[in-house]
Structure 1
């Protein structure tokens, strides 16, 4: 990939569904971050807006968010959907188009290439579980319409519920209940320590008076988590404590042709068997490592979306990556998982650690998605 940099990176606090952001739509949350980014950038250099979203009202959430934020009418916007990978996939697509420099990028991806020197593309993801509309299958004959919780990720015979899939994946890879609870407790411990130390302060845009992530629980232990029952199948190992929450939030980065910032060295998406969707990030990570020639040992900061402790641990084991190296300041088990925004949250976390806190040179963010997909980016800090 030619020179494409993440020059700025911000997010909202992550709220628990039905709490702090219960009355804010996905577009409202996205607009809050976009507005702050536009305050920091020359208005005439914003050339496109690309946002991922899973469960919003449809239409073009990115356009609504951009206009709500006061971005000029002539700046286009597009919404992308790769389910939980949407926020990171938006960055992948926009970075590829931006790198193309106007030689077919827009036609290949539907994203403006923003080739102007010094121009910015604002890219990320938004999600409001609190205000997601109810959806119904149309009635058949005289029957009532049937409400459904989510759209299909794959054909019905290969479309397991995410919690059950995570439980079966943990069993398949020999991930014990004890190991899952220890990992989840560590995520909260790390996030609580990072929150107290102010590690999240520079990346968070306060919204509605909320300035911190709601879900983090300092003092949560593996012993306390061990008391929780399995929730997805009898005799299972996945519980409410070693699973992510249901959350609201938004995260956006500004892509530019010039640094300083995080240079996007590689970005990739990949597919796996949809019955094991949690492994989707593995081939995506392998692709970005292969594209750059870097090894696992050379990556300083690893950010995986922690949808389920067992799922992250299985991915680490397959990759040969020590799990203690992942999410050094806590992950989605503690912070929360605002579906379409989560991949972009990972990119913001890379920026904070590699640029703001100067904690290394290379970083990888990766996320799995329903339907057996995954997306990853590999970045280099250029200060």
Structure 2
């Protein structure tokens, strides 16, 4: 690594293996994580001037020494200090299995989803508490407490205990869906972590999740107008979509599907790929999209998936068919009212559509969505006024 080659994102890629190595050597998770963070900061300060020959080994050595310093300075840990050895001799510094186990640890079922996401970003992603707090738009002290509680919760859990890969994927999915806030792009961070996880396991669902992220992220440049308002998929300028990410996502997805072990993330990615494949909205293969939603319903039996399927049915078989499918679902579902408004608009029932758009705006989960639904209501009302 040369002095001008320091890339903080590449540096953070090393963090899971370094932290896993310390925990395997006997370090408790909370102190090890603090030591790794300090080693990371030290690397950022010194590597541009004194780049190491073995970056991972340098980080493990520096973090281990810092762990010993922290342990020795804490009288309450003297008993434990006698149990830890001095710096181990050089040897293997990381294994893919160690990194995967660290993901399992940060997504431990004893943690709440919010805590699991925060701990993953901190311990696996290498982000600072301040960066995570800014991304989630909460005070740094609040995020520090959340991370601290999470570290205490998993403090007695050892690497090597059975973990649930689906929980890990769900945590990364939550990270991606948080959007973009502060100085950390959480969608890009989720993609980076998913790439890292894909390098540690050959599970096709990991590849499916990475493909899903890439395919959704490819549409990002067309999703928001200059004034911050949302652009619906049907209205997006597809020339702005990133074809490099689409090609990569499709290739990863095809390789995963070829293994014939279908999972929900592969099915979601297949739907996203069909949208990405259409050069215009009119060319969208809605019939095949409905078929993939059928697979997704079979895999998850999720009411939200059924809601999205109803909208797709409305595109494939007409709005009345979509409304019939929607009528079978609970109106309390998120975005149920907005979906009903869209289908009524397509059916030509503009008065009902306008009223439902107004109602949906009051239920919106964020300002951008609320403004979009309010604008749709106003647009439909204008059309209605022009017909009378």
Give me the TM-score of the superposition, normalised by structure 1.
0.24
Larger radius of gyration between Structure 1 and Structure 2: 2
Decide which structure has greater strand share.
1
Larger RCO (CA under 8 A, 6+ residues apart): 1
Give me the TM-score of the superposition, normalised by structure 2.
0.24
